[in-house]
Structure 1
Amino acid sequence: MSADKTDKDKRRYGMVQVGIPVGQLTKPIFGRHGFAGGAMIVDWPAIVGAAVSSYTLPIRVRFPPNERTGGTLEIKVANSAFATELQHLEPLILDRINGYFGWGAVARLKLRHGPLPPRSKPAAAPLEPKAEARLDRMLEQVEDPDLRAALERLGRHVAAKP
């Protein structure tokens, strides 16, 4: 390699961990919205809990000029009813967010109403053949196809629990 090439011009050959190039790609995008690296978006369910995260999505953090504290977190909320509940939970959510960052990064929430993007459901693990046969035997007498499908989902969920 010639001496005039910089580190950015170097190419990587062979296998590279996916997290390295993905982080380099997403950092500028998340940075424009005030999220350093996007970890807050990924960890949103862990920060605010499953119930709140199922109706909300963080959009951006806006900080006062030349500051990195006392920001405003914009959150998209799925419906007005939950927005009202979110206003009551604001002090608790702010505590959790600031605890996540380790400093007083966010001072207030700004709510935006709108539909949330669809979230993919994790695929159910296949049942063992013995459990599959047992579930089929239990459902063979159910004639209504909608009821059968609902009971099958419930049965798979229960059978998958350790």
Structure 2
Amino acid sequence: MSDEKTKDNRRYGMVQVGIPVGSLTKPIFGRHGFAGGAMIVDWPAIVGAAVATYTLPIRVRFPPNERTGGTLEIKVANSAFATELQHLEPLILERINGYFGWAAVARLKFRHGPLPKRPAAPPPPAAQVSDRHVPALDRVEDPDLRAALERLGRHLGGKP
């Protein structure tokens, strides 16, 4: 009977990736105060892209037997931005606590150091100029305008 029950739970040998990954990462993130690691993943959405570029949450430390009034330790790329973050602390705390849904974090603690390399965004695809626009240039009577439009089309298409 237990084999039959296992098959039903596993959907004939297949398991959603999120289930085992969550059970693997929860102990690791839990040691640092991040319940499931969602705060790390959602960090740019929580604090904004500008702040997330120069920061990374490291851990949340709560008072003993409490889940409120914690201290969030943040790694900051440089001292100049750490000074800026001190001025933004009330706003950042408001956004973090809004994310949690309660007053989870009461203060921020900054640690200076290099951030791990993040994967670069892929370059935007080059615009393709279709051949259907070439006959339209034949209708342009002004030679200077036609030459300018051809150059524009080559530039947009990535052709020299």
- TM-score, normalised via structure 2 length: 0.75
1:124 Cα deviation from its structure 2 partner: 3.2
Q: Say if 1:2 and 1:35 are closer, same or farther in 2 by CA, change over 3 A.
A: closer
If you compute each CA radius of gyration, which structure gives the higher value, 1 or 2?
Answer: 2
d(CA) in 2 for partners of 1:20 and 1:128?
Answer: 40
1:125 Cα deviation from its structure 2 partner: 5.0
1:30 — aligned with what?
29
Taking the TM superposition and a 5 Å limit, the aligned residue runs for 1:19-58 are 19-58=18-57
Amino acid at match of 2:121: P
d(CA) in 2 for partners of 1:118 and 1:2?
Answer: 46
> Which segments of 5 or more consecutive residues in structure 2 lack a partner in the other structure?
131-152
Structure 2 SS opposite 1:61 = strand
- TM-score, normalised via structure 1 length: 0.74
Amino acid at match of 2:55: T
Structure 1 position 135 matched with structure 2 position 157: yes
1:122 Cα deviation from its structure 2 partner: 2.6
Kindly, what percent of the aligned residue pairs are identical? 79
1:129 Cα deviation from its structure 2 partner: 3.9
1:20 Cα deviation from its structure 2 partner: 1.1
1:108 — aligned with what?
107
d(CA) in 1 for partners of 2:23 and 2:126?
Answer: 39
d(CA) in 2 for partners of 1:2 and 1:51?
Answer: 52
1:80 — aligned with what?
79
Aligned Cα RMSD in Å? 2.4
1:37 Cα deviation from its structure 2 partner: 0.2
Taking the TM superposition and a 5 Å limit, the aligned residue runs for 1:88-127 are 88-127=87-126
1:120 Cα deviation from its structure 2 partner: 0.5
Q: Say if 1:14 and 1:124 are closer, same or farther in 2 by CA, change over 3 A.
A: farther
Q: How many residue pairs were aligned?
A: 134
d(CA) in 2 for partners of 1:47 and 1:107?
Answer: 16
Amino acid at match of 1:130: V
